[in-house]
Amino acid sequence: MEYRDYYKLLGVERTANDDEIKRAYRKLAMKYHPDRNPGNKQAEEKFKDINEAYEVLSDKAKRARYDQLGESYQSWQQHGGQPGNFNWDEWVTRSAGGPTGGRTRVEVGNLEDLFGTGFSDFFQSIFGGMGMGDIPYTTGRTSTRRSTQPQVYEQPISISLYEAYHGAKRMMQIDDRKLEVSIPAGVKTGSKVRIAGIGPKGPNGRAADIYLIVHVEPDSQFERKGNDLYTDVEIDLYRAVLGGEVTVPTMTGKVVLTIPAGTQPGQTIRLAKLGMPELKSKGQFGDMYARIKVNLPRKLTDSQRKLFEQLREMS
């Protein structure tokens, strides 16, 4: 069994703090999520590795135990140890900490059952799926029980910009239960949708919360900046000079936009309250901005050229 470098899997330094680890995990999880890589086995395996690494490094108890193993393994290698010959059984059964040398008992969690990510033999051997709730431990002859908050699970989820505007629903399966989850209108990349108390129960009987970490996919037609939307609108030279009307798309259908005479290329025209809805503020919307692109004629007829020449002379 080979040692797994969880820090390397997430692309962070061993001194990384919790926020740095979380940001690295989210970025990689979005990139390799199965929803974004259908049928890609390599991406699926990478996603499993990322989740396993985060499960360890985001948990203080697991990270401390892993760091202790890393030091032991590195020291063993520096003294001539060869890959594949490390005595894992001896390390797993030895003291896991405590100033008096007491043993730490760990219990099997079920992140695998929740999201189907699975854990490697390395993880199972070293942690046994360390407890997600209470972590019982003994020191000498005295037994103590330390209470912790229920484990919080994070799961990336991708939605379209259209779904972010109108809201969306997703089906989740947790053990043998199916649950329909509503994604509220107005979410943006990085928004968290909390599903309280539906995760696995810890030894203390308290069910974990699940947070869906939203990623809004880029849209081919609209660019989002906060709650404002931007879209490119092409008009011909004559509408730009003389003014006129043009039909533009919005998130709720097409609208007619009035082009003022003398509109310049690159000019933006504001369409009030046609942007994204504001999360948790019913009836509040951002604006939409039409960025004007003027299509200039590439070829002119003789008569058109003469008219433009006349205009030039008159200006």
CA–CA distance, 129 with 147 (Å, rounded to integer): 17
Is the alpha carbon torsion for 265, 267, 269, 274 positive or negative? positive
**Residue 96: other Cβ atoms inside 10 A:** 22
35 — pLDDT class (breaks 50, 70, 90): confident
pLDDT band of residue 44 (cuts 50, 70, 90) is confident
| Domains 6-146 and 152-216 fall in the same CATH topology | no
151-154: which pairs have CB atoms within 8 A and are 24 or more residues apart?
151/59, 151/109, 151/199, 151/200, 151/202, 151/208, 152/208, 152/209, 152/210, 152/211, 153/111, 153/114, 153/115, 153/199, 153/208, 153/209, 153/210, 153/211, 154/25, 154/26, 154/210, 154/211, 154/212, 154/213
Whether pLDDT at 160 is above 70:
yes
Is residue 130 within 8 A of residue 107, CB to CB? The reply is yes
pLDDT of residue 13: 94
CB atoms within 10 A of CB 289: 19
For residue 72, the model assigns a pLDDT of 64
Q: What pLDDT, on the 0 to 100 scale, is given for residue 203?
A: 62
Average pLDDT, the chain: 78
pLDDT attached to residue 289 = 98
Average pLDDT rounded to a whole number, residues 232-237: 96
The CATH H-level (homologous superfamily) assignment of domain 223-298 is: Urease metallochaperone UreE, N-terminal domain (2.60.260.20)
Tokens in use for 30?
A: 């979005």
| 180 phi, psi to nearest 5 deg | -95, 120
Which residues make beta-bridge pairs with 289? 230, 270
Classify 312 as helix, strand or coil.
helix
Domain boundaries, the chain: 6-146, 152-216, 223-298
User: pLDDT at residue 67 above 60?
Assistant: yes
Q: Span 236-252, mean pLDDT?
A: 95
**pLDDT tens, residue by residue, 121-130:** 677 666 654 4
pLDDT at 204 over 60: yes
Q: Which CATH number does the domain 6-146 belong to among 3.30.390.50, 1.20.1250.20, 1.20.810.10, 1.10.287.110? A: 1.10.287.110
Q: Mind listing the pLDDT tens digit for each residue in 260-286? A: 999 999 999 999 999 999 998 889 999
Instruction: Identify the pLDDT of residue 253.
Output: 94
- Structure confidence at residue 144 as a pLDDT band (50, 70, 90): very low
Q: What is the pLDDT of residue 176?
A: 72
Which regions of 5-60 does DSSP assign to beta strands (E)? Answer: none
At residue 87, the pLDDT reads 54
What's the burial of 171, exposed, middle or buried (CB within 10 Å: 0-12/13-18/19+)? Answer: exposed
pTM above 0.75, yes or no: no
> For residue 137, what pLDDT is reported?
27
Q: How confident is the model over 13-34, as a mean pLDDT?
A: 90
* The pLDDT of residue 63: 87
Dihedral angle computed from the Cα positions of residues 3, 5, 6 and 11, in that order, rounded to the nearest 10 degrees: -160
Cα separation, 21 vs 15, whole angstroms: 10
CA 160 – CA 170 distance, rounded (Å):
12
**Burial tier of 180 (Cβ tally within 10 Å: 0-12, 13-18, 19+):** exposed
Residue 264: the pLDDT is 96
Q: What is the pLDDT of residue 82?
A: 53
CATH of domain 152-216: 2.60.260.20
Question: Per DSSP, what are the bridge partners of residue 36?
Answer: none
What pLDDT does residue 252 have? 95
Residues 84-117: pLDDT tens digits?
555 555 554 443 333 333 332 223 233 333 334 4
52 — pLDDT class (breaks 50, 70, 90): confident
**Residue 282 tokens, joined:** 């019913």
